[in-house]
Amino acid sequence: MYYLSKSKYCKGIQCKDILYYDKHNPEEAEDTANSSVLENGTEVGELARGIFGPYLNVSFNEDLSKMLEETKKYLENENCIVTEASFNYDGNFCSVDILVKKNDKYYIYEVKSSSEVKDIYEDDLSYQVYVLRSLGLNVEGAYLVHINSSYVRGEELELDKLFTIEDLTDLALSKQDEVKEKIKEIKDYMDEDKEPTVDLSDKCNSPYACPYFEFCKRKVGIKENSVFDLSWTRFSKKLKYYNQGIITFEDLLEANNKGSKPALTPNEKLQVEGVVYGLGDSINTDGIKSFLDGLTYPLYLLDFETYMQPIPEIVGTRPNQQIPFQYSLHIINSKEDLKDLDNVTHKEFLAEAGTDPRRAVAEALVRDIPMNVMSMAYNKSFEQGRLTELAAAFPDLSSHLLNIRDNIVDLAEPFQKKNYYNNAMEGKHTIKLVLPALFPNDPELDYHNLDQVHNGGEAMSIFLEMRNMTPEEVEITRSNLLKYCGLDTFAMVKILSKLYEVSEDIKKKVK
């Protein structure tokens, strides 16, 4: 008989084939969840355990019968709070995050690190209610405990304010027949153990991006450059094409030319035509020139690194607030400097791990960037958001920080407006795609060639891990963080140079 758990039940709700592939083809699963998100989830779960006061914890054991035994022992108490209380009814196992027993009545609390209620959480809770009620327990309440994103931390962390509790009792009770049927359906399917017939549908992307999507696509013969590779398109629109038999970029173009619906947007058309017709660079020189004409020098190219914590450590911050801890700054005094990049100055700042980095970052910024100069970022809204937050946190530096914020231009703009496009950008304008598209095979600009830190997610995790490192490890890690962030703004310098080059404003080829 196939055994179910909370997570298997939820996967089965999304698509039973996920459970089949987990059993037979787990190596085909692609990583769709960031490990730091999972770690944060564990951290939140552990903290939430204390939300109602002292509790008894059932420790994890590979041998689930041990967890069942420990639970039974704890629940001999008339009134108690048990975390990870574990139950098994007819091959349906579940561990309840927080179980409150009061006068022979039971209250189930499921903890999530997200700040919103998703439908799948309701299924998760309903399954737990089903297991406990089937075992004859008198379940009086079923609740979801999740992060309150508007909570602002004070001197003490207030658990009752950090978490929001939603009462989902009525909903969970109303779903009990559905849970029973669904469990039977999943178990029958898994016991049959038959190779699935792939049926791509909206479930492949909801409630989560399925880790087997690429595998399933391959199984139905979908190759590269299909409707599913359209960059600016909602999943539902891609499915609409797919269900009409419009699969390849060639199909898309043919259907679009015949006027079939839904029509391709200009961005989609650019991406599809670029591939189908094998077009090279598409450059709108006037558009690029107009962007470059708006620049003033000296120009300060800025990039922040930030971290986020679901449980805010710093007084005055919210859960998952972006906390800047590092920046890189390349300074170009005049556009002529771009003929020889040795003339470009570089400054940088990296805070000490384990401290509130914001004041140090703000002070360094106002020291490095004067008032009333033009700064540049790639996707400027991110840098502007952080500057706004720093200004609010430090009123004495506020006018200078807001002055920097209000004078930022966006290097992404020419790519967003498709004034410069080629197929390697895959229809997008992120710097991680634009850079190799403009400078293919340039080892100096290849993030893969860096040590330890290759993207913003890694920078965030590694900065937080640094507080537990030895001084020698900290020294190496700091150097790698500086190289990573430095490459972000150096890449901006190179991209800017390239724009001048293609606009023929600087005739001499940039080094």
Residue 249: CB minimum distance to ligand SF4, A: 21
Binding part of the chain for ligand SF4, among 5-13, 101-109, 200-208, 318-326 by CB under 6 A, reads 200-208
Nearer to ligand SF4, 216 or 491 (CB): 216
What is the maximum alpha-carbon separation in the chain? 84
Cβ neighbour number for residue 163 with a 10 Å cutoff: 21
Q: Contact 387/322 with Cβ under 8 angstroms?
A: no
Nearer to ligand SF4, 18 or 331 (CB): 18
> Mutual orientation of helices 119-134 and 176-192 as an angle, nearest 10°?
90
Q: Of 416, 412, 411, which is closest to residue 270 (Cα–Cα)?
A: 416
* Site for ligand SF4 contains 198 (CB under 6 A): yes
Amino acid at 128: Q
* Site for ligand SF4 contains 139 (CB under 6 A): no
* Tokens matching residue 356: 């509130």
Omega before 395 within 30 of 0, i.e. cis:
no
Alpha helix (H) residue ranges in 220-355: 235-243, 249-257, 266-276, 285-293
* Tokens matching residue 180: 């029973």
Residue 211: CB minimum distance to ligand SF4, A: 7
Binding part of the chain for ligand SF4, among 120-128, 163-171, 205-213, 495-503 by CB under 6 A, reads 205-213
Considering only residues 200, 434, 437, 464, which one is a binding residue for ligand SF4 as defined by CB under 6 A? Answer: 200
Binding part of the chain for ligand SF4, among 12-20, 92-100, 258-266, 472-480 by CB under 6 A, reads 12-20
Binding part of the chain for ligand SF4, among 172-180, 211-219, 337-345, 379-387 by CB under 6 A, reads 211-219
> Mutual orientation of helices 358-368 and 398-406 as an angle, nearest 10°?
60
Binding part of the chain for ligand SF4, among 97-105, 194-202, 307-315, 338-346 by CB under 6 A, reads 194-202
Considering only residues 216, 377, 391, 485, which one is a binding residue for ligand SF4 as defined by CB under 6 A? Answer: 216
Cα angle 492, 493, 497; round to 5: 115
* Site for ligand SF4 contains 212 (CB under 6 A): yes
Binding part of the chain for ligand SF4, among 120-128, 192-200, 246-254, 284-292 by CB under 6 A, reads 192-200
Enter the DSSP assignment of 202: G
* Tokens matching residue 361: 């970052």
Rounded to the nearest angstrom, the gap between the alpha carbon of residue 104 and the centroid of all alpha carbons in its chain is 42
Amino acid at 146: H
Which residues, 6 or more positions from 174, have their beta carbon under 8 angstroms from its beta carbon?
Answer: none
Residue 202: CB minimum distance to ligand SF4, A: 9
Q: Of 176, 70, 165, which is closest to residue 109 (Cα–Cα)?
A: 165
Residues in 13-32 that interact with ligand SF4 by CB under 6 A? 15, 17-18, 21
Q: Contact 203/15 with Cβ under 8 angstroms?
A: yes
Strand partners, 350: 326
Residue 416: CB minimum distance to ligand SF4, A: 31
Nearer to ligand SF4, 24 or 467 (CB): 24
**How many residues make contact with ligand SF4 (CB under 6 A)?**
13
Binding part of the chain for ligand SF4, among 87-95, 198-206, 233-241, 468-476 by CB under 6 A, reads 198-206
Omega before 207 within 30 of 0, i.e. cis:
yes
* Site for ligand SF4 contains 171 (CB under 6 A): no
* Site for ligand SF4 contains 210 (CB under 6 A): yes
- Give CB contacts under 8 A, 24+ apart, made by 117-121: 117/144, 117/146, 117/166, 117/168, 118/207, 119/207, 120/10, 120/13, 120/14, 120/207, 120/208, 121/168
Residue 217: CB minimum distance to ligand SF4, A: 8
Binding part of the chain for ligand SF4, among 206-214, 238-246, 297-305, 313-321 by CB under 6 A, reads 206-214
x/- binding map, residues 453-472, to ligand SF4, per CB under 6 A?
Answer: --------------------
Residue 198: CB minimum distance to ligand SF4, A: 5
Cα angle 274, 423, 449; round to 5: 170
* Site for ligand SF4 contains 377 (CB under 6 A): no
Residue 32: CB minimum distance to ligand SF4, A: 10
Q: How far is CA 254 from CA 88, 236, 240, 249, 258, in A?
A: 56, 20, 16, 9, 6
* Site for ligand SF4 contains 204 (CB under 6 A): yes
* Site for ligand SF4 contains 227 (CB under 6 A): no
Nearer to ligand SF4, 186 or 459 (CB): 186
Residue 31: CB minimum distance to ligand SF4, A: 14
* Site for ligand SF4 contains 186 (CB under 6 A): no
Residues that bind ligand SF4 (CB under 6 A): 15, 17-18, 21, 198-200, 203-204, 210, 212-213, 216
